[in-house]
Amino acid sequence: MRRRHAPRQEPITRINVTPIIDVALVLVIILLVTAPMLSVADLPVDLPAAHTREAESQRNVSITLSSGGHVAVDEEVVERASLRAELAERLRKPGNENVLVVVRADAGAPYGAVRELLADARAAGAKRLAIATRQKTETR
């Protein structure tokens, strides 16, 4: 009687990376689908459309221009003529030498008024300037 030899299987010497690649691709797809859902508009002011997060996460001095032409530095309403002096005083305080000055203007404010605010901030000694905006939301 003749013995039949079962074919011998070779030992597995390599790692099968196909399941690892499948899991990685699924995770990338989940990340791509959920990332746009994480941004939320959190500014309750009527600002021009666009958005940056840099100014929100650090100490800054805020200049606000209303649609009626009223100006405020942080929470204090000031006269337009005394804006430069008030801002220079705040920038001279210890720790405010390199602070970000954020101009928040109503969307209906004239561009010339915003430009004048930026020029006054620069003249008062501001080294870093930014214009605050709100995130544009899609309508479906």
Q: Where do the domains of the chain lie, and which CATH numbers do they carry? A: 54-131 (3.30.420.270)
Token pair belonging to 30: 């989940």
Please state, in angstroms and rounded to a whole number, the distance separating the CA atoms of residues 5 and 58.
76
Residue 64 is predicted with a pLDDT of 86
- Tell me what pLDDT residue 40 has: 46
Q: Using one digit for the tens of pLDDT, what is the confidence trace for 71-123?
A: 888 888 888 888 888 888 888 888 777 888 888 888 888 888 889 989 998 99
In this model, does residue 49 exceed pLDDT 70? Answer: no
Question: pLDDT for 126-137, tens place per residue?
Answer: 888 888 877 666
Separation between Cα atoms, residue 47 and residue 137, nearest integer Å:
13
Rounded to whole angstroms, how far apart are CA atoms 63 and 88? 12
pLDDT tops 50 at residue 43: no
Calculate mean pLDDT across residues 37-59.
Answer: 53
* Percent of the chain residues past pLDDT 90, beyond the cut: 10
